[in-house]
Amino acid sequence: MYNASDLRKGLKIMMDGDPYIISEFEFNKPGKGQAHYRCKMRNLITGNSAERTYRSGDKFEPAPLEERNMQFLYSQGNEYHFMDTKDFEQFVVDAEHIGDSANFLVDNMEVDVLFFKGQPMDVTLPIFVNLTVTQADPWAKGDTSGTDTKPVTVQTGYILQVPPFVSEGDKIQIDTRTGAYVTRVK
């Protein structure tokens, strides 16, 4: 059992019979009265968001979730196919559970897949991924627009802003939490 003081971002709890993950968390201690915890959370089954406020004495049941290391095989339409790295069992995860992670998935990438009652619910990517730039417009020297970045497209079709020296064919590192450029990879 969790207490309200155990709440934090990323914690998975049961609420109304469904597993939820806390996406935002705020502690508030007014000058008078009891402290309270405000949470924004996402239902791992439906994807719906909820905002709730809890008091210090509230208790929570941990969500009975299982996390497995899996390898991404391929995508077909709105289905993403993964293989368990231990027993080679294959699973299909639909696009709504993949979300923005689809922008960074490449064949043979190892990820962690979260299961609830035998069903895949969520995919956790590595923090950094290396992707190849497939389209980059040349940067016009002397461009005085005030920005020192340009848009590029990587092998997954994701478009992001990078420094002007990045060109087509370069491999770049991207932070999967923010979708931002980190560095060029040799």
Q: What is the pLDDT of residues 143-186, one digit of tens each?
A: 555 668 889 999 999 999 999 989 999 999 999 989 999 999 98
Render pLDDT for 79-101 as a digit per residue (tens, 0 to 9). Answer: 999 999 999 999 998 887 888 88
pLDDT in the model for residue 112 = 92
| Within this chain, domains 65-124 and 128-185 share the same CATH topology | yes
Q: Are 76 and 98 in contact (CB under 8 A)?
A: no
* Mean pLDDT of the 48-64 span: 86
Look up the CATH number of domain 65-124: 2.40.50.140
Q: Are 30 and 24 in contact (CB under 8 A)?
A: no
The dihedral through the CA atoms of 141, 147, 148, 151 has a sign that is negative
Q: Are 151 and 137 in contact (CB under 8 A)?
A: yes
pLDDT in the model for residue 11 = 85
Mean pLDDT of the chain: 87
Q: Are 133 and 154 in contact (CB under 8 A)?
A: yes
pLDDT in the model for residue 145 = 58
Class of domain 2-62: mainly beta
Q: Give the architecture-level CATH label for domain 128-185.
A: Beta Barrel (2.40)
CA dist., res. 63 & res. 43, Å (int):
11
pLDDT bin (cut points 50, 70, 90) of residue 106 is: very high
- Percent residues over pLDDT 90 in the chain: 39
pLDDT bin (cut points 50, 70, 90) of residue 35 is: confident
The ranges assigned to domains in the chain are 2-62, 65-124, 128-185
**What pTM value is reported for the model?**
0.72
* Mean pLDDT of the 8-29 span: 86
Q: Is the pLDDT of residue 125 over 70?
A: yes
Our measurement of the distance from residue 100's CA atom to the centroid of its chain's CA atoms, rounded to an integer in Å, reads 7
